[in-house]
A and B are shown apart, each in its own frame.
Chain A
Amino acid sequence: MRYNEKELRALSRQPAEMAAELGMRGPKKGSVVKRRLVKLVVNFLFYFRTDEAEPLGALLLERCRVSQEEPSAFSISFLEDPERKYHFECCGQEQCQAWVEALRRASYEYMRKSLIFYRNEIQKMTGKDPLEQFGISEEARFQLTGTPVDGWSCIGSRLDALD
């Protein structure tokens, strides 16, 4: 799968939600902890060698599970292979908790669910759809089922009944 690496590198230079030097250990057996500059930008977690400007790698944070492993250590794994974990060591419990919280909210899917939740709540309380004023109430990304408006079925998506 090709991807736009140049743009992803540019993204890694954008202002981060969270950035810190952490101990990082890859998922492979026998991998050792290395100091890395870890940077959370939108739904990507970039990691750098501490003295380099270009990222070593990136993790897309969709469908991931963030687990607290120890008071000051957490791991990230992905739904399709939950035992394959990226380990991170923090300098304390507070830092660890802050990262765990931030990472759990860092996915586009989490934001989508939040938005649908708020939309429904506002609709229940006021009787009005808050997205109508922006003219985006029909956008697929804001629907509960997420089926695209143009009627095409998409790969793997639930084929919930369309109107």
Chain B
Amino acid sequence: MEWMSWLSRLTPRGPGGRSSRNVASSSPCTADPETCLMVFENHWRQLSWVLEQQEPSGCSDDLTAVRNHTDQMLCLLAEERPGEVGEGPPGTLTSSTVPPVGPILGLVVTENVLERVVQWHLRRGLDPDSQGALLKLFEMLIGQSQQPLLQHKAVLQPLLGLLGACAEPQLGCPPSLENSLVLLLNQICVSMARAPAVLELLFRSAPVQHGPTNLLIFSLLVPFIHRDGAIGQQARDALLLVMATSASNQGVARYIAENSYFCPVLATGLSALYSSLPRKIEVRGDDWHALRREDWMGVSSLVLFMNSLEFCNAVIQVAHPLVRSQLVDYVHNGFLVPVMGPALHKSSVDEMIASTAYLDLFLRSVTETALLKTFLRFILMHRHDNDTILDTLLTRVSSNSRLCMVSLSLFRTLLSLNCEDLMLQLVLRYLLPCTHVMLSQRRAVRDTDLYGKSADKFLSLIPECCRLSVLPSAEREEEPAFWGKVLNSPSSESPVHPKPSTPSRLALFMRQQSTALPFTPSPTETVPSSPRGGPSTPLSPDSPMHPVPEGLDWESGYLEYLRDARRGVELCSWACRNWSAPYDGEDPSPNTAPLLPPPPTSNPSLAMFPEHFSFQQGGGEAVERLISELLDGAGPGEGGQQGPGEGGQQGPGDSNGQGISIEAFTQELRELEERVRERSRGVGDPDSEEPLPPSPLDSDLIGNGAGAGVEPKVVGSAVGLCSPARPLGQPSAQPYTGPFMVVLFAKLENMLQNSLYVNILLTGILCQLACYPQPLLRSFLLNTNMVFQPSVKSLIQVLGSVKNRIEVFAASHEDFPAMLRKAQRYLVARGKVDWADSSPMGVPTLRRSDSLVKSRKPSLGDLIMRHTNSPTRARHAAQLALAHVRDGGQSLHSALFRGGTGGGASGLEKQVEALRVKNAVYCAVIFSEFLKELAALAQEHAVSMPFLQKTRERGGGRQG
């Protein structure tokens, strides 16, 4: 339970800490309760005399006296022990369940001591000093009391009176007292979590003038939700305790959902915080493509945002379903649609890069299914200017820049979710009709690569010029010291701290080389003993299992690919076990395939940067409008024009966030609260079935995501399942495998020109796709025997054309073998760095899905606690690692320059040519490895066992 970690943060102030404190301090008092009572009564006599003065003089003597007496009395009250359970008259209900109150508490209750003290202060006019003192006193009392206090009206009422004063506009809570206030509220919530009955009391016994008390607690806590530092954390912890406590309390949950402004504030607060994020991400290396922890820990505005997102996630985890669904809706309508949507559609490339990277980061950070669903629904269904977010993101893959890499990275994250809805929209719906295969081939959709024919085909595409061994033997001997060091890290792997379990192919380079060296095998490679404890002989030589010819370095690498492929296929099919259908060409039936958007008729990249920035207005619902107004007031202005320029100057380390201040935001919140209150009054009886807030789910389904804000008319009226907004293009008879496949294949075909990092991301995504066990997708990518319709390009065709280009290139560069070797060595070095990435050093490098999956695992709280590393150190480490390779990337550059074009060329032309050569050489290396990955995947699919589908079994049971 992740929220346990939230709760456990409170433990220093929780039961353990409290009791230990009291054991030490209370013993002298409890030794003689009667004396304590006498002392208390004595104080009370004197205090009540002061309190009863008709004219509260401004005299400071009175104040001092009251304070002194109150201090003494409350300490005595806090240390008093409850009476023994057995003391009461036997048989009565109260004595058997609740211990009787101690005599001091009894006196406090009968004399209404606290109420009178607080009232005296309030009448007198609460100066900040006294206010702070009272807050601290109550905090001490509630935090340290030996007996439950809050269920006594005589304690609760004055406490609420004091809190009420803090909520009053004219008095309020001075900034200097905020810490005390939040601490007190936190204590109240801790007590409440311990005694859930208090929750009920808090909500029932409301002082008239303040309306519902939970509103009071909320209105006091909520302004601190998004606050930085300890105070924000305490407020969030406190709110989370309320959420957890009220998770099973329908009444309270309804109250939170309908009468408090907790959810809108939380969700729209994300919008406010988002608006202060840097609009340009300062880019470090040409391989940067995603925000990692190291990247954002230094950006305070991003830390703030992530804290709040984490809190949302935690609330959704513990809260009542009513609150959960409301919060999820508000995140959708108050953050994703009005802010994230436009942000993703900004016109400047920098902003597109930043918003895409942010979205990727958010998706990787969210762990709660309900919240993930809302993000996915936003991406798949929400229409911004007639295009779904998904459409927009797809067009950017084809861009020729970092935007492409960031977008690929986002898709990598999306694919790692193994979400049926996403895969349906992205790929499967285009394959469902089976029009991409020849009619006679449809039955072959389910075939697996039983005899390795497809694998063989993939491997046969490895260009001849790339089939050289990694290092000529002469060069091997120069390396052992370095590689010896390298080897240590993987073999010292412990089960507790696994290294990146599936090393990227870069790490593979390293292992391939290492196995080529006469090293002692690492422990994991030792010969196994037979299961019956027999002689641990290696496989008999006549076994057909492993007749691997000597002298080829690549086999060990291929074994690793097989291993990775097995893991990939297995994890993916496990993750997909609850999908609604097998997608095998029969179920769902090809005839039930949904209507598809036609292939774009124009170049999508031309229309991809709409100049558009405005918050969507007029969702047709009061709350939504309120939020919009709030955001308009709070945001960086309608045009948002001052932002980009200044934001662009900001480095990630710049702590001074743009946009509104949180203080201004909380001001707005108070107004919002008022309006929500009015609105709910207008709605009247909360039991009336007025649906609030608007469910984005409904509007999306009705309009099929036609964009509530863009086309308000569409919202109410049910339109067809497919949006008419798109111009109708080619007839649907033309088989079309969908924009995702088209753009990936186009990018792949262009592999020779892509940068190394684009190619690594691109091939990684294709491998992710190839892990999916659904026969439709598997056959499309991996069955090289399938015959597709002439208009459908197959993966093998694309790969064939890349192969030819590489061979043409190699033939035209006589130093290609040398360059290839250098490129391989560089990548081996990168692989080493990649591997080291999992160590505490945290070197930023390219990572593949495995580390991504891992980065999703720990709770955000966990992550925050983790030691963070300075990027500088990381970069330094990377440089050190690379320095070992004498002919690393830099000298590859120089080598390529030497082999550049003729003497007449200008410097720039030379550079362009050098870049072209560099990309092509790297491409050759990546391409060969990619083919092995695909071959391994084809083989592993044939031997993988399906996992049982839970839902299908259940469905069958229901019918029977």
| A and B co-occur in one complex | no
The residues of A with any CB-CB pair to B shorter than 8 Å are none
The residues of B with any CB-CB pair to A shorter than 8 Å are none
